[in-house]
Amino acid sequence: MTHKGRLKIINEIILPKIPAPRAELNKYAPRIISMQIPVDKIREVIGSGGKVINKIIADTGADININDDGKLYISTPDLEAADKAQKIINGIISDPEVGEEFDGVVTRLMDFGAFVEFLPGKEGLVHISKLAWNRVDKVEDVVHEGDKVRVKLIEIDSQGRLNLSIRDTQPKPEGFVEEEPRKREGRPNRERRGGFNPNNRRNDGGDDGERKGRRREF
* Domain containing residue 145: CATH number: 2.40.50.140
Number of domains in the chain: 2
Residue 74 lies in a domain: yes
Distance between terminal CA atoms of the chain?
A: 95
pLDDT at residue number 172: 85
Residue 162 lies in a domain: yes
User: Is there a single domain that holds both residue 76 and residue 125?
Assistant: no
pLDDT at residue number 119: 87
Last residue of a domain, one of 45, 67, 93: 93
Mean pLDDT (10-residue bins), the chain, 218 residues: 64 65 62 92 91 93 94 92 92 91 96 93 92 94 96 94 95 76 50 49 49 38
User: Is there a single domain that holds both residue 160 and residue 119?
Assistant: yes
Residue 13 lies in a domain: no
User: Is there a single domain that holds both residue 54 and residue 32?
Assistant: yes
User: Is there a single domain that holds both residue 76 and residue 106?
Assistant: no
Q: Are 155 and 98 in contact (CB under 8 A)?
A: yes
Dihedral angle computed from the Cα positions of residues 144, 94, 45 and 31, in that order, rounded to the nearest 10 degrees: 110
Task: For residue 84, give the nearest of 63, 60, 65, 55 by alpha carbon.
Answer: 60
Task: For residue 68, give the nearest of 89, 90, 39 by alpha carbon.
Answer: 39
Task: For residue 165, give the nearest of 146, 142, 196, 138 by alpha carbon.
Answer: 142
DSSP string, 99-157: T-EEEEEEEEEETTEEEEEEETTEEEEEEGGGS-SS--S-GGGT--TT-EEEEEEEEE-
User: Is there a single domain that holds both residue 30 and residue 85?
Assistant: yes
Check which CATH number belongs to the domain holding 54 and give it. Answer: 3.30.1370.10
Q: Are 126 and 85 in contact (CB under 8 A)?
A: no
User: Is there a single domain that holds both residue 122 and residue 76?
Assistant: no
Last residue of a domain, one of 74, 93, 112: 93
Strands 122-127 and 162-165: parallel
Residue 187 lies in a domain: no
Residue 190 lies in a domain: no
Instruction: Name, in order, each residue with C-beta under 8 angstroms of 44's C-beta and a sequence gap of 6 or more.
Output: 52, 92, 93, 121
User: Is there a single domain that holds both residue 146 and residue 163?
Assistant: yes
The domain of 117 spans 101-169
Residue 182 lies in a domain: no
Q: Are 53 and 64 in contact (CB under 8 A)?
A: yes
Last residue of a domain, one of 66, 93, 120: 93
Q: Full-prediction pTM beyond 0.75?
A: no
pLDDT at residue number 120: 79
When computed from its CA atoms, the radius of gyration of the chain, rounded to whole angstroms, is 31
pLDDT at residue number 167: 95
Residue 128 lies in a domain: yes
User: Is there a single domain that holds both residue 137 and residue 153?
Assistant: yes
Residue 201 lies in a domain: no
